[in-house]
Chains A and B, each alone.
Chain A
């Protein structure tokens, strides 16, 4: 595949690994924020060839994993109601809340449709005019503008049987909250490529300034990841901490202002519960009053209830990079991708799922 296989080719990777080994002069703790990075690192077997001094820890950048159990339970509650059909991205299907999962709800008769774009949910709303179609939306800045555009389109088409349940979250406040934790000693941040196409590399400047942390935006192919890690290692060696863009073919300094405007036209920041991280101020995105008729929480009078984390589950600690999946007593025993206890096991981008699929020996 042109422009993909080149970024996976051993002939470029081997010299990059050699360069990294030359530059790295002390143990480095780097967090890959994004779940897609975690998965790419495993899928391409990079852990087997990276220098031992490099410790890669996974961050909170898997949207399904950080969705609170209270949200999942509310999703299931809506899905189980008469006359409702819910649309979701596939990753949400098996995520367990306190009261089962959407997969289980479907097997009991709930109508759950897996879609590839929020616009597909609009098509469903037109196809089933007698039903309430609810898009259960989980995602970061990469997803939110699409959902905003979908709501605007629903308004244009005057659809009155379509709503969105917004469990959206935005990344910068969560990263700041994470870095406020004194236990987390990080040497650098591998910043998420997809999210950065929207928020721009500039969004990390406050982190570099306020926390003295090296930040490099990275793409998702092995060559991209290695180049970004090299930039981080160079900063560490030269005792600099700035933002660099290692994914210039997709990410600009300013990001995508049009997408951000779309997002802020339709959504407003609210305090939001993150699984494992607690309530983070202004880290969620609620549908604005102006578009209240498309807000599923209002239409179905949903009140999020406090849901306890499953006993023994370390997802919270793992999402903060404080623990490894192998530290969890449930990992690969009671908790597997087939019968996940915690969210990090169920999402294909979850840290535990990545360890389970690719790192067990």
Chain B
């Protein structure tokens, strides 16, 4: 088959297709040492301290969903990208691309939600932009947020810092956001309360870093591509292997059931209010206690460990007692046929 000649949905999935696009097109042309780190936020040395800088666009469909909406997602997602480098979020920008015909009522609802999320997180929107495109040239509303944060002098959080022996901690149940959106999109009405987990995690990170200094090596919020893809990225960056215990990974029963019906693997579903922490094994218990003391980390669990195995390899030890690899997501997760 010829090389891909058009952009496919796969390229936006956060999985291997997205990574290939970055490696083969963006990095070669825009390359510089900061970009090349490929972390959730860039760290820029200003001479007077380290600045964390990140940007993210939100195109979720539907724009309102159980547990949140595109506005709250846009605030929390960018705050979380700053927090994953150990930064204190300072401020956000908010850029809107609106489709002609969007009900003013919907826009108002989204802006009120942005307001509530900013107040809750104590991170203000300090600049913004609005564009309107003709009907049919967009899909209701797209949002871009950028964020700036400051990183304290002694904080060193990076995917490259994971090392053999580290405990892998997940801050709560996985797959909630991804499965909520998928079932909404499919118009499936399932029993139980599937809700998005969208949540700002900077306070949780602050407490972990303040109360267990030096213990946390790596942080990542497993959004698109899910826990499996994030761990593959970390394992590649740090040239290590990761071993997961399937039985220890928290999955809500209703999420597990919906995954069975749709043929999805929760390891690959997006989370919007969860983080993965790779933590020095001697301090893992302490960090877990700190996390569990906040609502954001109430269901945190140790789900695996870093090993000195082949670089970039993630192995899942299954509940059934078997083992298999858990590679990166390859494309947009699709439902099965039968």
Residue of A nearest to B4 (CB): A339
Total inter-chain residue pairs, C-beta < 8 Å: 124
- CB within 8 Å of A: which of B1-41? 1, 4, 6-10, 16-17, 20
A307 contacts B by Cβ under 8 Å: no
CB distance from A42 to the nearest CB of B (A): 6
Also in contact, A89 and B331, with CB within 8 A (given A9-B319, A339-B1)? no
A91 vs B264: C-alpha distance when bound (angstroms): 12
Q: Mark B311-338, 1 if CB is under 8 A from A, else 0.
A: 0000011111111110100110011111
Is there contact, CB below 8 Å, between A8 and B320?
yes
Structural contact, A90 and B335, CB atoms closer than 8 A = yes
> Is B320 a contact of A13 with CB atoms below 8 Å?
yes
Known: A36-B338, A116-B335. A49 touches B256 (CB 8 A): no
B335 and A358 within 8 A (CB):
no
**Bound: A42/B20 CA distance, A:** 26
Partner of A338, one of B7, B10, B256: B10
Number of residues from B at the complex interface, CB < 8 A: 39
Q: With A104-B8, A361-B325 given, is the CB distance from A90 to B330 under 8 Å?
A: no
B155 an interface residue at 8 Å Cβ cutoff? no
Query: Is B260 in the interface zone, CB < 8 Å from A?
Result: yes
- One digit per residue, 1 when the CB lies within 8 angstroms of any chain A CB and 0 when it does not, for chain B 161-194 equals 0000000000000000000000000111000000
Closest partner residue, chain A, to B313 (CB atom): A361
Residue of A nearest to B17 (CB): A338
Chain B interface main SS type = loop
Given A45-B323, A338-B17, A339-B1 in contact, is the A143-B338 Cβ separation under 8 Å?
A: yes
- Is A60 in contact with chain B by the CB < 8 A criterion? no
Q: Please indicate the chain B residues that have their CB under 8 angstroms from the CB of A360 in the complex.
A: 325, 327
A93 lies within 8 A of B336 (CB): no
* Complex contact B17–A44 (CB within 8 A): no
Asked if B321 contacts A49 (CB within 8 A), the reply is: yes
Closest to A221 in B: B320
Assess whether B323 is in contact with A43, with CB atoms less than 8 Å apart. Answer: no
B227-264 interface mask toward A, CB cutoff 8 Å, 1 = contact, 0 = none? Answer: 00000000000000000000100000100110010110
Sample of 7 A–B contacts (CB below 8 Å): A9-B320, A10-B319, A42-B324, A91-B335, A94-B331, A143-B337, A357-B327
Q: A49-B320, A116-B262 are in contact. List 20 more A-B contacts (CB 8 A).
A: A1-B260, A4-B256, A44-B318, A44-B320, A44-B324, A45-B317, A45-B323, A46-B322, A89-B336, A89-B338, A91-B337, A103-B9, A116-B186, A139-B337, A142-B338, A338-B10, A338-B17, A338-B330, A357-B325, A359-B325
